Amino acid sequence: MADKNSATFKLTTPSDREIVLTRVFEAPRRLLFKAYTDPDFIPQWWGPRGFTTSVDKMRVTPGGVWRFVQRRPDGNDYAFNGVYRGIVPPDWLAYTFEFESMPGHLLLETVTFEDQDGKTKVTANALFDTVKDRDGMLNSGMEKGAAESWDRLAELFPIMA
Task: Tell whether omega for the bond before 48 is within 30 degrees of 0, i.e. cis.
Answer: no
So where are the chain's domains? Answer: 6-160
Q: What are phi and psi of 83, to 5 degrees?
A: -130, 130
Report the CATH fold assignment for 6-160: Alpha-D-Glucose-1,6-Bisphosphate; Chain A, domain 4 (3.30.530)
The two beta strands, 107-116 and 65-71, are unpaired
37: nearest Cα among 83, 80, 87: 87
Residue 6: the pLDDT is 63
pTM: 0.93
In a structure prediction context, what are the per-residue pLDDT tens digits for the chain, which is 161 residues long? Answer: 444 446 689 999 999 999 999 999 999 999 999 999 999 999 999 999 999 999 999 999 999 999 999 999 999 999 999 999 999 999 999 999 999 999 999 999 999 999 999 899 999 999 999 999 999 999 998 999 999 999 999 999 887 76
CB 149 within 8 A of CB 25: no
Q: Dihedral angle at the C-alpha atoms of 25, 83, 76, 42, nearest 10 degrees?
A: -30
Is 45 in contact with 153 (CB distance < 8 Å)? yes
